[in-house]
Amino acid sequence: MSSFGFWQKWLVGFGLYVVAFGLSFAVFGQSRLMDIVFNNQIDPAFWGVAEPTATAREFQAFVYGVLGATMAGWGVFIAFIAHYAFKAKEPWAWNCIATGMIVWFVVDQFVSLRYGVGFNVALNTAFLLFVTLPLVFTRRSFVVKTAGIA
């Protein structure tokens, strides 16, 4: 498998991972497992050492459901673009993934930093790295060469 093929499949896999993560977030956002993995990292930024109220937990479940659904849809887009247009080395596919990730990262990092949710800052950085690596290593395949005029 070529280097390009490896990174293209990496992006498809990343997209599918985001789908699975988003669906689990939507369905299991208030489960004991999600409390251990995620909520225990996020909740202290908003409630300190106190437990969130039942109303706050209900709102959190709604927000996690919507966020998880959005993430799952985002993962589908990444997987499809990576599997088809990116694989065909269509420049718009590289630009779409890169631009979408930059917009998401800047806004999400700003909000996470604004509310002091360091765990999400770290998670965002890892997600960005997982997408940036294939983009960096495949960039040359998307550069359109123009013929020189003599």
Look at residue 4 in the predicted model and tell me its pLDDT: 96
* Dist CA 100 CA 58 (whole Å): 30
Residues across the chain = 150
Look at residue 137 in the predicted model and tell me its pLDDT: 97
pLDDT at residue 87 is higher than 90: yes
**Collapsed DSSP state (helix, strand, coil) of residue 2:** coil
Q: Is the dihedral angle over the CA atoms 66, 68, 70, 72 positive or is it negative?
A: negative
* Dist CA 70 CA 53 (whole Å): 25
Look at residue 148 in the predicted model and tell me its pLDDT: 57
What DSSP line would sit under 59-114, residue for residue?
HHHHHHHHHHHHHHHHHHHHHHHIIIIITTT-HHHHHHHHHHHHHHHHHHHHHHHH
Please tell me the pTM assigned to this model. Answer: 0.88
Look at residue 145 in the predicted model and tell me its pLDDT: 59
Name residue, tokens 């996470």: 112
Look at residue 149 in the predicted model and tell me its pLDDT: 59
pLDDT class for 1, splitting at 50, 70, 90? confident
* CB atoms inside a 10 Å sphere around CB 81: 21
pLDDT at residue 62 is higher than 70: yes
Mean pLDDT across 21-42:
91
Look at residue 50 in the predicted model and tell me its pLDDT: 84
